[in-house]
A and B are shown apart, each in its own frame.
Chain A
């Protein structure tokens, strides 16, 4: 067998595998897009390319009298953005003090953070539920945000500390010589240099609450306060199939913007995760 022929076979096999994967990846995605255009509520008799396509389900979702979908969308955005803002602020402060100061209790705190980040924060869901009940934070977005932010602190602190450690200390020392105070060094010297890792932490802190189901399910009780994950699940689980096409439209409306956002930030994701994996 000549080298040329061998190469030909190898490439053909490669493309066959790639095409097969394309089919496996696209089929569910196209199926849900197709379902969302199918007339009627149930899927029996539907097909991927609907014969008389309709936008009725999308219209229904945008009408708050018919469906609380818009509330869910807004809730999810609100919770995710606020979680992101608070996480970035708190994590920057904690990571900065771990990276730049040597204080009593530092080593033990770092060790504690390391162990805490390993326990998924929903493992203590009974306690979170009871605590929220006691403090009146049950069925509020504030309670949910606090739990998300608290849960995001340990892991992201390690991630950011690892990055801050690579910023030369001489920079802040010389600024100190010139008379810069603690806050000034933090805001004007270190933070501007840490923008890449801040972006990564922000991205993680935004995406995590968006995809979370279990905590939102436990803490949120009224339908209008649901986030998308809980709302869409309810839509499917209540009477399976009875509202499936509407669910499909809802799924498309959420998957498309998130996928676009994700694909444009994808390389930060990878760099952030590898940084966290190897350095911290």
Chain B
């Protein structure tokens, strides 16, 4: 490549001057813009100097003396400072780039755009940023900010014994993660919760998917009468708010007055079962309830897919002498699975984090002696009780990080396979 040479060197000078934002623009004779940039820069430091100074110091040390410094507030300020700093850096880079580009135009002898054109340009290019900014700001404060906070928390010793304002919180590096895997009590609880989470996710989801599909195919048979009514009834468990149903089931499975033990099992002459006090039975009950709650969704989806399969496919198969089973295996099943695969995977991730059913049914219990998690706690409900009842904030944060990594991993793997990634211009 031949290097272009210009007689003037405006672009370099403008960029160099823009080390202080605004000067480069002034040099480029864009006075209004230059002054605006200068004022913005001044205002930025004027308003945020304290926050940046205090926040970054706080983030680094997490406080030095107890009554004066509140480690957690300092951390929050620190994250705010980081976010502000990031915006500042973004603006700074934009400023450098702008000065360079305008300088380049001057070097090439092009006419510079007038103030009015600049204004129009700003409106046109700025419009998407403008209309996005409210949503984006909210997202930063209620979603991104908490995530950063939790990630940082995972590397501290914040718990009941290191709790501001009485005590300071310190950075401890990877200690929480090491504890989870090395300290006997934590490791045992962690792995038993993790394994139940995985079993729960697979068994409960598979049951609801299988039942939903089976019923959809059953009802979709041509000679079944009263399809509309049957379908409405099968959707009912989905229509009732889940928290209501779960609480109702908690009553039904209650050992002293619940209908399951008293009316149903009693009717068949079976002894009462300790649904709420023995982990094994609670688990069975949870899986049955989730199947009840979850199958209508799959049922509705699969019914939609089944109705869109063209009749000719089956007719052609009949002509070729296929049996019902063959038709099902070679036409129905592949089409249904193909169309619903992405949704099926979200069902698994949903149950992986299905806090409501675990907590509302039995509070993650029954309690297990010697462990700080209940017998049916899954990761998310364990995190909840670590945070809200035993104040193990940093451990909870570390587990949250591990859990998020699992979920993101699975979800990314899934989205890589959907077509939206392959379509051009989709992204």
Partner-B contacts on A (CB < 8 A): 7, 10-11, 14-15, 17-18, 21-22, 24-26, 28-29, 31-32, 35, 42-44, 46, 48, 90-91, 93-94, 96-98, 100-101, 103, 106-107, 109-111, 114-116, 118-131, 134, 146-147, 149-151, 153-154, 157, 162, 165, 182, 186, 210-211, 213-214, 218, 229, 232-233, 236-237, 240-241, 244, 247-248, 251, 254-255, 258-259, 262-263, 266, 269-270, 273-274, 277-280
Q: How far is the CB of B419 from chain A (nearest CB, A)?
A: 8
Docked pose: A247 CA to B359 CA in angstroms: 18
Whether B342 lies near A277 (C-beta < 8 A) is yes
Whether A214 lies near B355 (C-beta < 8 A) is yes
Docked pose: A207 CA to B366 CA in angstroms: 31
Q: Chain A binding site: helix, strand, loop or mixed by DSSP?
A: helix
Neighbouring A residues of B84 by C-beta, 8 Å: none
Neighbouring B residues of A21 by C-beta, 8 Å: 215, 233-234
| Apart from A120-B353, A255-B245, A279-B420, 11 more pairs, CB < 8 Å | A21-B234, A28-B248, A115-B408, A116-B147, A123-B400, A123-B404, A129-B387, A131-B146, A153-B143, A213-B243, A236-B251
Neighbouring A residues of B27 by C-beta, 8 Å: none
Q: Is B384 in contact with chain A by the CB < 8 A criterion? A: yes
Give which listed residue, B215, B235, B415, contacts A263 with CB less than 8 A: B235
Docked pose: A10 CA to B141 CA in angstroms: 58
Residue of B nearest to A271 (CB): B304
Given contacts A18-B230, A116-B139, A277-B343, contact A214 B247 (CB under 8 A): no
Give which listed residue, B149, B242, B356, contacts A130 with CB less than 8 A: B149
Q: How far is the CB of B221 from chain A (nearest CB, A)?
A: 6
Neighbouring A residues of B415 by C-beta, 8 Å: 114
Residue of B nearest to A211 (CB): B241
Q: How far is the CB of A102 from chain B (nearest CB, A)?
A: 9
Whether B240 lies near A126 (C-beta < 8 A) is no
Q: Is B244 in contact with chain A by the CB < 8 A criterion? A: yes
Interface string of B228-261 (1 = CB under 8 A from A): 0010111111111111110111111010110100
Q: Is B224 in contact with chain A by the CB < 8 A criterion? A: yes
Stretch at the interface among B35-43, B124-132, B325-333: B124-132
Q: How far is the CB of A10 from chain B (nearest CB, A)?
A: 8
Whether B387 lies near A125 (C-beta < 8 A) is yes
Given contacts A21-B234, A259-B239, contact A31 B153 (CB under 8 A): no
Whether B300 lies near A270 (C-beta < 8 A) is yes
Q: Is B269 in contact with chain A by the CB < 8 A criterion? A: no
Sample 8 A-B pairs with CB under 8 A, ordered by A number: A18-B224, A18-B230, A25-B233, A94-B132, A119-B408, A146-B142, A255-B241, A277-B340
Whether B139 lies near A103 (C-beta < 8 A) is no
Residue of A nearest to B231 (CB): A266
Docked pose: A97 CA to B128 CA in angstroms: 5
Give which listed residue, B125, B139, B237, B249, contacts A25 with CB less than 8 A: B237
Docked pose: A169 CA to B299 CA in angstroms: 36
Whether B142 lies near A119 (C-beta < 8 A) is no
Whether A274 lies near B304 (C-beta < 8 A) is yes
Given contacts A151-B142, A255-B241, contact A127 B127 (CB under 8 A): no
The residues in B between 132 and 172 inclusive whose CB is less than 8 angstroms from any CB of A are 132, 134-136, 138-139, 141-147, 149-150, 153
Q: How far is the CB of B340 from chain A (nearest CB, A)?
A: 8
Docked pose: A129 CA to B388 CA in angstroms: 10
Docked pose: A26 CA to B233 CA in angstroms: 9
Whether B136 lies near A11 (C-beta < 8 A) is no
Neighbouring B residues of A90 by C-beta, 8 Å: 134-135, 138
Given contacts A43-B257, A125-B383, A274-B301, contact A14 B143 (CB under 8 A): no
Neighbouring B residues of A130 by C-beta, 8 Å: 72, 76, 149
Q: Is B194 in contact with chain A by the CB < 8 A criterion? A: no
Give which listed residue, A31, A110, A123, A129, contacts B380 with CB less than 8 A: A123
Q: Is B418 in contact with chain A by the CB < 8 A criterion? A: yes
Docked pose: A251 CA to B245 CA in angstroms: 8
Whether B257 lies near A241 (C-beta < 8 A) is yes
Given contacts A17-B218, A94-B136, A150-B142, contact A28 B387 (CB under 8 A): no
Whether A14 lies near B218 (C-beta < 8 A) is yes
Neighbouring A residues of B125 by C-beta, 8 Å: 103
Whether B301 lies near A270 (C-beta < 8 A) is yes
The 7 tightest CB contacts between A and B, nearest first, are A150-B142, A127-B146, A124-B146, A97-B128, A127-B149, A101-B128, A90-B135
Docked pose: A121 CA to B250 CA in angstroms: 26
Q: How far is the CB of B157 from chain A (nearest CB, A)?
A: 14
Whether B153 lies near A96 (C-beta < 8 A) is no
Neighbouring B residues of A258 by C-beta, 8 Å: 239-241
Whether B257 lies near A44 (C-beta < 8 A) is yes
Whether B243 lies near A229 (C-beta < 8 A) is yes
Neighbouring A residues of B257 by C-beta, 8 Å: 42-44, 46, 241, 244
Whether A214 lies near B145 (C-beta < 8 A) is no
Give which listed residue, B149, B360, B383, contacts A233 with CB less than 8 A: B360
Residue of A nearest to B415 (CB): A114
Residue of A nearest to B76 (CB): A134
Residue of A nearest to B215 (CB): A21
Neighbouring B residues of A126 by C-beta, 8 Å: 149-150, 153, 387, 393, 396-397, 400
Q: Is B219 in contact with chain A by the CB < 8 A criterion? A: yes
Q: Is B407 in contact with chain A by the CB < 8 A criterion? A: yes
Neighbouring B residues of A109 by C-beta, 8 Å: 136
Q: Is B82 in contact with chain A by the CB < 8 A criterion? A: no
Whether B248 lies near A150 (C-beta < 8 A) is no
Given contacts A124-B400, A266-B239, contact A244 B251 (CB under 8 A): yes
Whether B142 lies near A128 (C-beta < 8 A) is yes
Docked pose: A32 CA to B258 CA in angstroms: 11
Whether B236 lies near A259 (C-beta < 8 A) is yes
Neighbouring A residues of B221 by C-beta, 8 Å: 10-11, 14
Neighbouring A residues of B182 by C-beta, 8 Å: none
Whether A22 lies near B243 (C-beta < 8 A) is no
Whether A150 lies near B149 (C-beta < 8 A) is no
Whether A233 lies near B247 (C-beta < 8 A) is yes
Given contacts A114-B415, A214-B356, A251-B248, contact A119 B407 (CB under 8 A): yes
